[in-house]
Structure formats: C-alpha cells, structure tokens
Chain A
Amino acid sequence: MATEAAEAHGEEGGLVFHPMDQFIVKPLFGDGEVHWYTITNATLWMFLAVVAMTILMVLMTSRRATIPSKGQSIAEMAYGFVYKMVEDVAGKDAVGFFPYVMTLFMFIVFANFLGLIPMSFTTTSHFAVTVVLALAVFLTVTIYGFMKNGAKFLGLFWVSSAPLPLRPILAVIELISYFVRPVSHSIRLAGNVMAGHAVIKVFAGFAAIAVISPVSVVAITAMYGLEVLVAFIQAYVFTILTCVYLKDALHPGH
C-alpha cells in the first residue's frame, strides 16, 4: 500500500514522501471535525485491540482445560510472564497491582502488533496515548506511595547511603529524575513505534524509482522484522518500568 502511495505521488513528478500521513487521526464516518466523542480510526484500532485481547484472554481460555490448547497456552504464558514480572520486580506485595499492569501490557502489546498490519493505525504511536498511560503510572505510584508510606515516601529522594553534604544535591537530581520519568516513559514508547513506521514509509517512498525498488523492498522487509521485535520489546519495557516505579511506591528508600 505504501508502494502504491509512493507511486501515486511519483507520477505527479519526483519523489514525494508522506511518512507521517499514516498517523493522521480522522473520523471513521464522514469528513467532519474531530470532537472528543467522534469515532475515529484511533477509536477503531483501540476497539480492535480490545477485541483481540478478549479473543486471546477470554475465548481461548473458555474451555479451562487442564491440558491447554495452543491459544490457552499463549494466554497462560502472557499471564505468567506479567505476573512473574510484577512479583520479581515490584515485590510480592505488589501482586494487587497485577490486573492494572496486565491491562497496560495487553493494551500496548496488542496496539503495537495491530499497528504492524498494513493500512492499520497505530494508536501507541501517539503521544496523546502514551502520555496518558505514563501519567497514569506516575500518578498511581505517587499517590499510592504517599498513601502507603506517608512522609517516608520522600525518603526516595533523600539518599541516606550518600555522605551528608552530597544529599541535598542528590535530592535535587533524584527529584528531577522522578519528574522526568513520565516524560521518558511515554516518549520512549511512542517515539520507537512512530520512528519505525515512518522509516518504513520513507523506504517505501524510494520504491518509486524502479532501479532502487528491489533494495527498497528488502529494506522494508528487514525494517518490518525489526518492528516486530520493537513492538514486543517496547511493551515489555513499558511494563517492566511500571513495575520498577511501583516498587518505589511500595518500598521507598534505597
């Protein structure tokens, strides 16, 4: 599809790249303005992520088989993967957060993989989405941290193992790093996904030149393989960082 688009532009004369067109949010029905409630392509692909998630986690496990089918095995693997992550990274007392972490992981992993389908829309390539996800984690950690530990939660910024004169300086650094967390957390995910998709689109643009087009196809294939990895790894990274931050809320101090 990307190739066709590039060719269509190519016919107009010269190479024309529109790598960011794939990220445009537009209404699904009609060409009207995008209100907060409008059903857009973003809505559609979020809905499809829910559908895919439900198929895997609910339909595939409906038989509750002791000897699992392939689908049920994958669902169990996903469960075990995230459960172990929460338990190992955030601690055994963080198991209450497991459904919350699982929600984040499932949404990101399905949104990333659905975004790899040609013609699709990648919801996780938008800062609007990842910022909400990251802020949700940040607020959860901050609010729960203060609720559980009270003022002791501030011990997170007071590095008691460092020499006393250094502590105020370290506190400032720790404070800045704490508030940078949601920024890096969100930009990492959206940036990775967006960059990969845009690069594929740029390679596709070069396919307008007949001589280069085979190279372009090979490059797109290689990039697609990399993007499959990135789709999973970024979901994993987002989830494990969530667990790391939750650990701070549960056990502040170094």
Chain B
Amino acid sequence: MATEHGDGLADATGVAEHAAGSAPGMPQLNFDHWGNQIFWLIVTLVVIYFILSRVALPRIGAVLAERAGTITNDIAAAEDLKQKAVEAEAAYEKALADARVEANEIIAKTRAEIQAELDEATAKADAEIAAKTAEGEKAIAEIRANAMESVEAVAKDTAAAVVAGLGFSADAKDVDKAVADRMKG
C-alpha cells in the first residue's frame, strides 16, 4: 500500500462506504467491489484452467509417463546386460577349461613324441654301440690271430735257427710239430 496515498484512499473508501451504507472498516464487506472481484476471479480461473488443462498438465503427465517408461526400459536393459555378463562369464570359464584340457593334451602328446624319439635314438645308439663293439672284438680277434700266427712263425723260424745254430740238422716238419706242441702246452 502506497504510504502517501494511504489516508486519502481510506477517506475515499470511507466516503464510498458511507454512501453505499456498508460496514466501514472491513473492505472485504464492501459489496460495491464484489462484482469487480468476482468478474476478474472468474476470468482468472478460466485462464488458469485452460492453461493447465490444455498445456501444462498433459505435458507434465507425458513427461512423467515417459520417465516411468524410460526407467522401466533401463531396468530391463540392465537386467539384460547382467544376463549377458553372466553368460559371457560362463563362456569364458568354459573356454578357459577347454584351453586347459587342450594344453594338457598337447603336453601329453609332446611328451609321448619326445619319449618315442628318445627311445628310438637310444635304441639306435645301442645298436651302433653294439655294432662298434662287435667290430672292435672282431678286430681284436683278428689281431690276436695274426699275432699268434706271427708268434708261431717267429717261434718256428727261431727254433729252426736255434737248431741250425747248435749244429743239428733237423727236419723242418719235426721242428714245426714240436713248436706247435709247446705252444698248445
């Protein structure tokens, strides 16, 4: 209420109130002004009603419904993703187990292969060693035989020479026989 007009207005309405014969003091009971207020109130209410019912309320209702829909969809999507994650985990676990089994198989196979190769190599080496041993033994036997022959020849020659040296003449056959007998003994 404007200060400087306060009194003037009070006086003015006071006059009006007295003229209209209504109760002074309470502007609410000055029925001269009711028509004005009722008219503008009805205008106001109609305007508010139309703004609300045509624009605001359908819009807010739609926004709320849309939000509820979005939330429901999001929850469903989250549920879906969770399911997928569980499936992915299971698949991962399965792949891991498969890989482990396969790795074990490969290890076993490789081990067997290596073992086979090793066995083969060992056998081969054994055979070679045996062959070499046999060869060696054969060579030794030959050498020994040669050596015996040589010894016999040398012994006969020596014996013949010794006999000749002593001034005896001896038959070559008897000398050979005597040497052979000695060597056996």
**B partners with A:** yes
Name A's B-contacting residues (CB within 8 A).
1, 4-5, 8-9, 18, 20-26, 31, 34-38, 40, 42-43, 46-47, 49-50, 53-54, 57-58, 61, 64-66, 68, 72, 75-76, 79-80, 98-100, 102-104, 106-107, 119, 123, 125-129, 132-133, 136, 190, 194
With contacts A5-B3, A20-B25, A128-B28 known, is A57 near B56, CB below 8 A?
A: yes
CB distance from A66 to the nearest CB of B (A): 5
Stretch of B5-13, B133-141, B154-162 lying at the A interface: B5-13
- Which residues of A sit under 8 angstroms from B66, Cβ to Cβ? 64, 66
| CB nearest neighbor in A for B12 | A31
- Interface SS, A side: helix
Complex Cα distance, B55 from A123, in Å, reads: 25
A61 to B66, CA, bound (A): 14
Size category of the B interface is: 35 or more
Closest chain A residue, CB of each to CB of B62? A64
Closest chain B CB from A254 CB (angstroms): 32
With beta carbons under 8 angstroms apart, the residue of A43, A65, A99, A103 that contacts B40 is: A43
Q: Contact check, B52 vs A76: say whether CB atoms are below 8 A apart.
A: no
CB of A134, distance to nearest CB on chain B (Å): 12
Given known A-B contacts A99-B49, A107-B44, A128-B34, A194 and B28 have beta carbons under 8 A apart: yes
Q: Is the interface of B mostly helix, strand, loop or mixed?
A: helix
Residues of A within 8 A of B42 (CB): 132
Query: Are B63 and A8 interface neighbours, CB within 8 A?
Result: no
What distance in Å separates the Cβ of A208 from its nearest Cβ neighbour in chain B? 13
Top 5 A-B residue pairs of the complex, sorted by shortest distance between their CB atoms: A57-B56, A36-B35, A99-B53, A128-B37, A25-B33
The interface residues of chain B lying within 8 Å CB-to-CB of A54 are 51
A31–B8 Cα gap in the complex (Å)? 11
In whole angstroms, what is the CA distance A1 to B35 when docked? 29
Residues B51 and A46 in contact, CB atoms below 8 Å apart = no
Evaluate contact between A36 and B62: CB separation under 8 angstroms: no
Specify which of A24, A47, A57 is in contact with B9 (CB 8 Å cutoff). Answer: A24
Within 8 Å of chain A (Cβ to Cβ): is B101?
A: no
| B2 CB contacts on chain A under 8 angstroms | 119
Please determine whether B39 and A37 come into contact, CB atoms closer than 8 angstroms.
Answer: yes
**By the criterion CB–CB under 8 Å, are B38 and A1 in contact?**
no
Bound together, the chains give a CA A103 to CA B42 distance in angstroms of 12
Question: A76 vs B1: C-alpha distance in the bound complex, in angstroms?
Answer: 35
Specify which of A18, A43, A106, A123 is in contact with B48 (CB 8 Å cutoff).
Answer: A106
Closest to A39 in B: B40
Residue of A nearest to B33 (CB): A25
**Measured CA separation A26–B14 after assembly (Å):** 12
